[in-house]
Amino acid sequence: MLAIEYLLLIGSVLILLSIAFARLSDNLGVPTMLLFIGIGMVAGSEGPGGIYFDDMGIAQAVGIVALVFILFAGGLDTNWSEVRPIARNALSLSTIGVFLTAVITGVAASAILGIPPLIGFLLGAIISSTDAAAVFSVLRSKNVSLRGSLQPLLELESGSNDPMAVFLTIACIQLATVAETSVLEIAVLFGQQMAIGGIVGIGGGRLLVLGLNRMRMPYEGLYPVSMLAVALFVYGVTTSIGGSGFLAVYVAAIVAGNADLIQKKSMIRFFDGLAWLGQIAVFITLGLLVFPSQLQPVIWPSLIIAFVLMFLARPIGVFISLIGSSFRWRDRLFVSWVGLRGAVPIILATFPLLSGVEGSAIIFNVVFFIVLTSALFQGWSIPLVARVLKVDAPFRPTPKYPLEFFPLPGSDTELLDFIVPYESSAIGKSLVELGLPSDSLVVLISRNDNYLVPSGGTQLEAGDTLLVLVSRKRTDEIRGVLEAKEDR
């Protein structure tokens, strides 16, 4: 066992290398997880690093904690008003779509690998969930956005399909290891896990908001620490009483993120950092866990299964799940193609290994290779496919300003930005001439990548972005003033 100082040194070097190479990943337009896994494999026992690691228990523990961070960060940053209209479609994808993907892939895996149908379905269940974070990292690197409701659909699906994949994996393991398990017991277990997970998630999220808003912490740094403790508590208590801990964590984060919450922006940034740390840690750990020499025998079978997953199983699952929805065939085809596999399948591949399922070593290697194949074949092509299918939109980066506003819970005052359109009647007028509501205040103007501190005599130009401190009930009034067109 290495001394703690050497463990810390090795860990910090690997993390710093991952962060440094993340920029390279953006330039290349490939998911960052490929580089993180590659760093782990290079540092592993069969790479130049020579670090021997084969502890599945530690790898699984790291993966579970990382997934809690990732799901909570995703839920916290989910705008319910945006995803609500497509919630039914996303939930259909995350349940029916995941199940169909698992079944079709499982049948193919059983035939190709010559394994029992149940073990094939186990493999299909493990690789049935998607990773939207990888998709959006590629889109951002190429300055591509998506039209309509595609982005919220993919975001909600990726956060809500992990619990289904976890359940199917655990159910298959139980059927494989406990002979007397019946399908009825599995169905009851599914209902129990989802019901408990949803109830605890909603209750935990509301209690979190109530507790943080009522407590007056002596130090601001205690707010994100408290939220971290609650996230881990929600997962732990839900899992211990037979519910889906991952579902509970995601739901609790959505509830908290869409409520009036003290220090919300700082906590979103805190968990965003934790999510990145979780991704780096889990991919490096799993990279260390893989022995490249063991992948060679499964390369061709894994490639065939991966292509079945990408070109048959995922598309069928998507098109059936979205029957009756308003999404066009182009949208559905794009959703089918961007079903990238990420951390969750590799984490789930450790479950049968620790449970002693026959053939679990082959499953782990096949799943690992399928994840790499998905990232390589699908990852780089996402911007191109978006353009070919005409589902892309002009990229609009999130604006950043040199000041922030933290509203108190219960206050309806916000700091919002408003753009002056190019045909606005406000162009050339001074702020005092606009007649903005008396209870609003323009605190900053962004113009040509510069910031102006305004006065009443400051004249507006086309394309100016006004940062206004305003009551929510006045937002439409201000937008109406700025968007009024000039009479011709």
For the chain, domains (ranges, CATH) are 4-394 (1.20.1530.20), 413-483 (3.30.70.1450)
Per the CB < 8 A criterion, the answer to whether 140 and 83 are in contact is: no
Closest CA to 170 of 73, 283, 88, 60: 60
Q: What is the model's pLDDT at position 137?
A: 66
**DSSP string over 255-304:** HHHTS--TTHHHHHHHHHHHHHHHHHHHHHHHHHH--HHHHGGGHHHHHH
pLDDT band at 397 (very low <50, low <70, confident <90, very high): low
Question: For residue range 162-206, what is the model confidence (pLDDT) as tens digits?
Answer: 899 999 999 999 888 887 777 788 889 899 999 999 999 999 999
Closest CA to 151 of 342, 399, 397, 392: 392
Whether the pLDDT of residue 217 is over 80: the answer is no
- Which tokens is 454 given? 């305004």
Question: For residue 117, what are the contacts with CB-CB under 8 A and spacing of at least 6?
Answer: 106, 107, 110
- Which tokens is 345 given? 């399948």
Q: What is the model's pLDDT at position 386?
A: 87
Whether the pLDDT of residue 29 is over 70: the answer is no
* Furthest-apart CA atoms within the chain: distance in Å: 81
Q: What is the model's pLDDT at position 108?
A: 95
How far, in Å, CA of 64 to CA of 360, rounded? Answer: 19
Section 54-82 average pLDDT: 88
- List the single range of 266-275, 310-319, 372-381 with lowest mean pLDDT: 372-381
Q: What is the model's pLDDT at position 135?
A: 67
Q: What is the model's pLDDT at position 41?
A: 85
Q: What is the model's pLDDT at position 317?
A: 95
pLDDT band at 413 (very low <50, low <70, confident <90, very high): confident
pTM for the model stands at 0.83
Whether the pLDDT of residue 488 is over 60: the answer is no
Whether the pLDDT of residue 85 is over 60: the answer is yes
Q: Which is more confident, 366 or 476?
A: 366
The amino acid that residue 270 corresponds to is: F
Sheet strands side by side (includes 413-419): 413-419, 465-471, 441-447, 450-452
Closest CA to 375 of 342, 333, 335, 337: 342
Per the CB < 8 A criterion, the answer to whether 300 and 370 are in contact is: no
Q: What percent of the chain has pLDDT over 70?
A: 91
Return mean pLDDT, the chain.
85
> Beta-carbon neighbour count of residue 437 at 10 Å?
15
Question: For residue 424, what are the contacts with CB-CB under 8 A and spacing of at least 6?
Answer: 460, 462, 482, 483, 484, 485, 486
Helix axes 132-141, 56-76, angle to 10 degrees: 60
